[in-house]
Structure 1
């Protein structure tokens, strides 16, 4: 086993390991996502071009250059053109990517990290083949998880909305304040539950134990808040990277097709980093759990021996 995966790591060590792996194996890990999702981004670019968006630099109305750039984000099609069909097409291909393509890419990255952990050679084609061999369990578990998340969001949203309306009628200030408190409380509870269930995907892919939600609950015990903090920090880091690139290039390119292509490429990089972090923290929890199980077996054996 690779020495970096052998012992449990702290919060900072997991982050450091995530970025080190992303850098050392960037070409293969990035290529996995590019092969799976790149054609979707290319199709999206062609749809935007056909709807009237400029390729290199999109500008809108206004006298100053910055007014023209800013207005380009409000007007992305040629005057008089209809972009409803383009918007629907982009939404559909985005949904297909989310449900079918990204999960397979994530599964392939999990297999790649597993090979790295075992000091085994791998190719992009071999890990993609492994991921496609688990295609239906991967897609099925992802769809089930999305439905669970949707249900947990829809129910509290309806309750909070009704309570907010009724509370605002009786006392507007109280209704607004209490609604905000309920939203924050529900967000924390939902985040905690999703964190506890988050390893369902790795268990489905690597251990053929789909959907793996109950096992994920046990695997994340005792360190669930640390895991939740890790996801938040990793999300903030990748989001800041994306925003920095979007703002930097957006000042010169406007809302052009080229800007969207650059943003999509950066999205692949940040998605890769997040998937690698997910794999690293999963294997770290596995090491901890296996160590705890071994310790319990030794304690139980020694207890039986002295009886």
Structure 2
């Protein structure tokens, strides 16, 4: 009897995950004995929030990315500032992050079931996965066993996160520094298929790209005109869809948007300037490529979730996610 393609793909992904994480000290069944109900508790709590506010899915996925790119996936983005330290959370690139209440609620629910066992870093990784799957996006096995970091520094976030104005060379270098490939870059950029941004992030691109009151010539002029109708030069608060018309649906429409020169950020447009990323954008710009993108996204998310993880006796298991013990 032939094995269905989707089942085979899941089996292969699981095998790849096991191979990738063995050297990191993470395991799919890390909490099998200490917190067997973990994933069901995380899913149920996350679902309550996503059902009321679906846009949290994009926010929580972004939070996981911002955590992993600074000091690795150690939950340091969740730590609040103190009188003696300005934490990552308050760095300029992170000031628009939201959904921390979801993580806090999940942590509280997990603590009631398994006190002192599960790290905030693991909870964030699970919540990001579940949030995406709850809006009909892909799912993936999440290897567990991360420990929480004790350091959170705003300056590190300011310089460690790739900004939306990076070009292809800069983006490739930023991802390579985290052992992520060019393919991972373009696949994870696909997360821009959901969510919103603020007008302030594209003001320069619309109104003063080279300092002479011009717009970015890489953008479709009709798209520029549409964005200008929504965003004045001084608008700091209005929000705009990252994937117009499809911002709450996890799909391949983002790649079609980029191909039409309607990517919201310079970093989106940069995907057309590199042969490898351009080829992926072209290949995945139709709905027939959805299953391929979902498989690739799942694999890249597993890789991202392994960045510089703390395991064993390193770090700690925080009692609350917003403060070190």
TM-score range, shorter chain: under 0.3
User: Higher helix share goes to which structure?
Assistant: 1
What is the TM-score of this pair, normalised by structure 2? 0.26
* Relative contact order higher in (CA < 8 Å, ≥ 6 apart): 1
What is the TM-score of this pair, normalised by structure 1? 0.27
